[in-house]
Structure 1
Amino acid sequence: MSGGHSTYSPKTGIERWFDARMPLPRLIHDSFVSFPVPRNLNYAYTFGGILSLMLGAQILTGIVLAMHYAADTTLAFQSVEKIMRDVNSGWLLRYLHSNGASMFFIAVYIHIMRGLYYGSYKAPRELLWILGCIIYLLMMATGFMGYVLPWGQMSFWGATVITGFFTAIPLVGEWVQQLLLGGFAVDNPTLNRFFALHYLLPFMIAGVVILHIWALHVVGQTNPTGIEIKSKTDTVAFTPYATIKDAFGMVVFLAVFAYFVFYIPNYLGHPDNYIVADSLKTPAHIVPEWYYLPFYAILRAITFNIGPIDSKLGGVLAMFGAIAVLFFVPWLDTSKVRSAVYRPWYKLFFWLFVANAIFLGWLGSRPAEGTYVALAQASTLYYFAFFLVIMPVLGLIETPRRLPNSITEAVLEKNKSGSGHPAGAAASPETKG
């Protein structure tokens, strides 16, 4: 996919002069205009473009907000209120940024699930997947540090609880916690550190995104059938075919985003964060932002000691392990078939995994007591079993459905059937299963 002759042809003297010295227009043309993409891409593949759009929006709004924010414990809460009340369109900037974080995570979770469903992590795309996981990890760090900046009750106590878990790590735990906090408790040095890192990390994310896109253009885009491109008839030019689809997906996504910003801007936040931080008054129920809740549920699910590992350290290891396991997915999945469209049993377990992840998020918002703990333990077990047991074993014993010979054949079969099956699903008895 990365090779081949460039189709870019400079039309003016200035373009020819520029192209001979720094072929940036040629790079853009070859990457986003003439770049061949599979002809059967669906709207699940628009979330890469949506994520790029949201990253740009978060960086731009964040830069403007940083011009008015005061990273001081005595001024932070008031500076946010000043942005909301006195800065021109400050309320809009702040709601765009805070709700944009949630929209960003919604898009990235859909993007990850699409990759798991269509096998986008399989060879030769392992590095592409790993770069995506690195982006996700950086996003989580950026989001957590940004949540502390308003210096409300949930900001303060969320930082206190989460950084406190690092003390469970033997030998270096307390040192790591003090390095994060800048002292022995959440205070002014903590706020300064988190503000600096929250400002810096999005630019690191942008850098890894560039590598992610570069890797994508080297190995090529996957597609719902999971079949590699075999001829020119399997592809269409990125522009206008994919760009129009991406643009439509962005418009729909931005409409949902706008609904939250203008009608329910505080719906995804926590009411306690509109109370200034008070170290002497603990909230009744400390929870992180909603997009961390599945991992928070996994953290709290470990209420028992595992040999020499106590429950606190076990919870921390389980929480980080739930993220770390994503890096090994390309080698945990042993199936030769890429797409779940042709793997009926994997498809079933995948949708159970999605439901389980949503259920873990709900459990993370509940108190860690009674039945909630038992349910969180069962859900945590299935989360890890999906990657460590189901993926490896299912790939060895599952009998997949017949694959089409090419992307073009899959498209023609779908059009011929006219029954709305997923791309590549044939109408013959062999492929109906």
Structure 2
Amino acid sequence: MDGHSKYTPKSGFARWLERRLPLISFMYDSFVAYPTPKNLNYMWTFGAILSFMLVAQIVTGVVLAMHYTPETTLAFDSVEKIMRDVNWGWALRYAHANGASMFFLAVYLHIFRGMYYGSYKEPREVLWILGVVIFMVMMATGFLGYVLPWGQMSFWAATVITNLFSAIPIVGTSITTWLLGGYSVDNPTLNRFFALHYLLPFIIVAIVALHVWALHVTGQNNPTGVEVKDVKKDTVPFTPYATLKDGFAIGAFLVLYAWMTFFVPNYLGHPDNYIEANPLVTPPHIVPEWYFLPFYAILRAIPNKLLGVIALFLSILIAAALPWLDKSPIKSGSYRPLFRRFYWVFVAVCIGLGYLGAQPAEGVYLWLARLFSFYYFLHYVIILPFLAKYEKPEPLPESIDSAVAAKEVSHA
């Protein structure tokens, strides 16, 4: 935060602490007096929702770890013991498993909001890149956690994904052996996957802290994409305005989360994962969790193993290059008519890849996956630079305050 703090200690203890560790003033300036654009809509509440879900995942995960046994002959039974014998163990396990899905649902909406409103553009490039890093660590954490129940799908998903590294020339086999702790998925693999799954969420917390720091340095973007010009006219204090909106959104999100946890807890899971892992029996159709399916479809769409692995990682990393691929001076898609059309096509392609990733890699599904994968990269590399150069945007409002006033007049 720039400038002097607006916080004034009122008690003797607060004044004593402020001189030695200005923690209260930091929290006040960050979450009470922080100036927030007055025109933010509910799509800006997913940052708070994600913070809540991160805490929920860590709390439920730590408690589950107290009862889980990371050993191949005991892991599956320890999960069943959690479900049947531990007090409220079934609720913790379902809350953690469905919490991962809710976490990824919120992060995808958060990412697509950032893409639509140009939250990756100057001066927020570092903020966006940190978000991509968080997403990648989330994916690694989710994959490691999927292995821990030691069911059929867990075991074979681990086998498929770790063997992808063997496609790397020269060092691929050595990397795969190092990851597995041997020549196949076995006890060393489960042990290190459990250790990493426990560690990575705390790394996510550290990167999130950097993400929030970067946000407070550059300020929040808004639906118009117009930067704050007058703090008094264009912004409102974070509390109570943003906190009330965030609180309401978290409550609404919790309704969906609770419904998934208590009424349809296995809806997004795979029934084969309730069969203990058997290296001698391969499931007819190996699929990861739903939040990996678009990238899994891209991987399978390319017949060459090495090129498929490269495309898989590029499909994630290319998002970090968005600030330089889309150089349009207009941030918000609300004032870019052509961009809006191609944006919704891109969203439809991502959803389509998710559907195709859950289907067998054959016939029309395979050809559609190749077509959608081609468009996925085309959107980043060709369409966005072309639109940035040749698109004619609509007139921008002079300020956030004038945009709000115009909207109020139109609604009157």
2:161 is aligned with 1:143: no
1:137-157, Cα deviation, whole Å (9 max, x unpaired): 000000000000000000000
Aligned to 2:44: 45
Aligned to 2:287: 287
* Structure 2 CA distance for aligned equivalents of residues 240 and 5 of structure 1: 21
* Structure 1 CA distance for aligned equivalents of residues 276 and 314 of structure 2: 34
Aligned to 1:36: 35
1:2-43, Cα deviation, whole Å (9 max, x unpaired): 313321011111111111110000000000000001000000
Aligned to 1:385: 378
* Structure 2 CA distance for aligned equivalents of residues 138 and 165 of structure 1: 18
Deviation at 1:279, TM superposition (A): 0.5
Deviation at 1:335, TM superposition (A): 0.5
The answer as to whether partners of 1:96 and 1:261 remain within 8 angstroms in 2 is: yes
Gaps in structure 2 of 5+ consecutive residues: none
The residue correspondences of 1:278-357 to structure 2 (distance < 5 A) are: 278-303=278-303, 311-357=304-350
* Structure 2 CA distance for aligned equivalents of residues 167 and 18 of structure 1: 55
The answer as to whether partners of 1:342 and 1:402 remain within 8 angstroms in 2 is: yes
* Structure 2 CA distance for aligned equivalents of residues 35 and 334 of structure 1: 29
SS in 2 for 1:37: strand
* Structure 2 CA distance for aligned equivalents of residues 70 and 268 of structure 1: 24
> Hey, which bits of structure 1, 4+ residues long, moved more than 3 A?
none
Deviation at 1:171, TM superposition (A): 1.1
Deviation at 1:175, TM superposition (A): 1.2
- The alignment's C-alpha RMSD in Å is 0.7
Aligned to 1:426: none
* Structure 2 CA distance for aligned equivalents of residues 3 and 227 of structure 1: 20
The answer as to whether partners of 1:117 and 1:339 remain within 8 angstroms in 2 is: yes
The residue correspondences of 1:26-105 to structure 2 (distance < 5 A) are: 26-105=25-104
Aligned to 2:120: 121
1:313-346, Cα deviation, whole Å (9 max, x unpaired): 1111111110110110110002010000000100
Deviation at 1:44, TM superposition (A): 0.1
The answer as to whether partners of 1:43 and 1:245 remain within 8 angstroms in 2 is: yes
Deviation at 1:77, TM superposition (A): 0.1
TM-score, with length taken from structure 1: 0.94
Aligned to 1:429: none
* Structure 2 CA distance for aligned equivalents of residues 265 and 55 of structure 1: 19
* Structure 1 CA distance for aligned equivalents of residues 27 and 130 of structure 2: 21
* Structure 2 CA distance for aligned equivalents of residues 85 and 222 of structure 1: 47
AA paired with 1:404? P
Aligned to 2:237: 237
* Structure 1 CA distance for aligned equivalents of residues 118 and 171 of structure 2: 38
Match of 2:395 among 385, 390, 402: 402
* Structure 1 CA distance for aligned equivalents of residues 226 and 176 of structure 2: 47
1:379-398, Cα deviation, whole Å (9 max, x unpaired): 00111011111111100000
* Structure 2 CA distance for aligned equivalents of residues 177 and 55 of structure 1: 30
Q: Work out the percentage of aligned pairs sharing the same amino acid.
A: 63
The answer as to whether partners of 1:340 and 1:346 remain within 8 angstroms in 2 is: yes
Aligned to 1:268: 268
AA paired with 1:313? L
1:28-68, Cα deviation, whole Å (9 max, x unpaired): 00000000010000000000000000000000000000000
SS in 2 for 1:236: strand
* Structure 2 CA distance for aligned equivalents of residues 87 and 339 of structure 1: 50
TM-score, with length taken from structure 2: 0.99
* Structure 2 CA distance for aligned equivalents of residues 130 and 178 of structure 1: 31
Gaps in structure 1 of 5+ consecutive residues: 304-310, 420-433
SS in 2 for 1:72: coil
1:253-298, Cα deviation, whole Å (9 max, x unpaired): 0100000001000001000000000001110100011100000000
* Structure 2 CA distance for aligned equivalents of residues 334 and 209 of structure 1: 26
Aligned to 1:428: none
2:364 is aligned with 1:365: no
* Structure 1 CA distance for aligned equivalents of residues 335 and 179 of structure 2: 47
Aligned to 2:155: 156
Aligned to 1:220: 219
Deviation at 1:111, TM superposition (A): 0.4
The answer as to whether partners of 1:334 and 1:393 remain within 8 angstroms in 2 is: no
* Structure 1 CA distance for aligned equivalents of residues 159 and 49 of structure 2: 33
SS in 2 for 1:387: helix
* Structure 2 CA distance for aligned equivalents of residues 394 and 179 of structure 1: 45
